[in-house]
Each structure stands twice: as structure tokens, then as C-alpha cells.
Amino acid sequence: MSRLIVLDTETTGLSAENGDRIIELGCVELFNRKLTGNDLHIYFNPERESHEDALKVHGLTTDFLRDKPKFATLAQDVIDYLRDAELIIHNAAFDVGFLNREFELAGLPPLHSFVAEVTDTLALAKAVYPGKRNSLDALCDRFGVDRSNRTFHGAKLDAQLLADVYINLTRGQDALLIDIGTAEPEFGTLVSVDLRSFQLPVLSATDYELAAHEELLLQLDKSSNGKTLFRQVASAGMA
């Protein structure tokens, strides 16, 4: 399994091209889809004020950031931490753009040159829930992820929330029998499971459920002028 890093940033504003800078970086590491505790959390002195609207979002004042390190002084440490990982980022283009700008200012190569891949959870969510609200807050609500202690946006906290959202969003990738056994197989190892050992209960419909089903079919018959596909198939099977 690949090493995953769930990443989020807070910035002084919305435009790296116009001089906005990263003020906070939060990363949470997953291996085999489990938290490892090998996380990264850094505040940076951006050497500029945050825009008023941005300050309302993250709450990180200039006074608080004044004695924090500049990004360039820790840029190589950030690269070493992220190297060869798959990055999980919500609205990835935003964070990647800021990170690439910071690396450029530090005289270092762009993100794609040292990470394995970048996965955008916003794009994933839009594919799974088209037409729905797919902000991080909306996804937390959809999956029951607790965000009650989130007064301000914070890179580390948001990365932790996103890690939980990502696991829920990609749960279909897990094996159907994921909880069988305690030891995890080596990558690439085929595990044989004898399904004959499982006794699956057969649940018959109750009289109430059968009556409700019949009522629904009658409504469909009425609205479709007797062209309900279910009844047509059933009649053909009995012929």
C-alpha cells in the first residue's frame, strides 16, 4: 500500500501569483489507510499581512506569526516529509499552487517532481455526489465526521477531518471481508476465504412489506398507464 499524506494549508489570501503566502501547513500520514501519528504541523511567518477576509477564516494574526520560521528555512524539511507520498488534498489546485510558489521562492523544484501523486477529494466527491454540496464541511456532515471543535479553519485540524472524510469517501475500495482475521497480508498476497463457512440469513418480506410493495406497483401502473416494467417482466416469466 502507498503512503498517503492528507494535506491542508492556510494562506494570507487567495492568490499566490499576487504575493499571498502560506502561513500554516498541516499534514496527517496514513499507511494502509490507518493513521500513523507521523504528522507535520508548521506555522510560517509570511512577511505580509493577511487579507481581512482570510483572517476571518483562519484567525492567525500577524502578531502570532511574527516569530514563526519563514517557509524557505523549512522548505527542504517539508520536501523530505512529502517525498514519494500520494497527497490527498481538498481542492488540490489551490494548495498545490501555493506550495509550488513557496518552493520556487526557495529555489526548489515543484511538488510533482518529488511526490508520487496528488488526489483531489473535491473532484472525487463531485464524481460520487454530482450536483451536491461537496465542501469539507458538507462532506463532514454527510459522513457524520465530528467538526464541533472547529471554530476557525486550521490546517492540521482540517487535514485530520479530511483524512476521515477520505476514508469514508473511498470506503468502497476496501475488501468486502476486510475485518476477517487479525493479521494483514503482505502486499500482492492472495488471501483465500472459504465462503461456505458463512451462514447468511434469508429474510422474507413481511405481510406489511408485501402490501406496501403492491401499493407502490399500483401507483406506478396508474402513472404509467399499465406499462410498469416490473409487471411486464413478471408476466413474461410466468407465460
Q: pLDDT tens digits for 64-76?
A: 999 999 999 999 9
What pLDDT was estimated at residue 11? 97
* Candidate ranges 29-33, 199-203, 209-213; pick with highest mean pLDDT: 29-33
What pLDDT was estimated at residue 50? 96
What pLDDT was estimated at residue 192? 53
Q: pLDDT tens digits for 144-179?
A: 999 877 656 789 999 999 999 999 999 855 433 334
Asked whether 28 and 160 are in contact (CB, 8 A), the reply is yes
Instruction: Name every residue whose Cβ is closer than 8 Å to that of residue 13 and which is 6 or more positions away in sequence.
Output: 20, 50, 51, 53, 54
> What percentage of the chain reaches a pLDDT higher than 90?
65
Return the active site residues: 153
Q: What is the DSSP letter of 10?
A: E
To the nearest whole number, what is the mean pLDDT of the chain? 85
Which CATH code for domain 3-173?
Answer: 3.30.420.10
The C-alpha cell of 195 is what? 465462503
Region 35-59: what's the mean pLDDT?
95
Least confident of 103-117, 172-186, 223-237: 172-186
130 - beta bridge partners?
none
Say if residue 61's pLDDT is above 90: yes
Asked whether 25 and 41 are in contact (CB, 8 A), the reply is yes
Domain range summary for the chain, segments of one domain joined by + = 3-173, 207-238
> Exposed e or buried b for every residue in 148-176, given b needs 16+ CB within 10 A?
eeeeebbbbbbbbbbbbbbbebeeeeeee
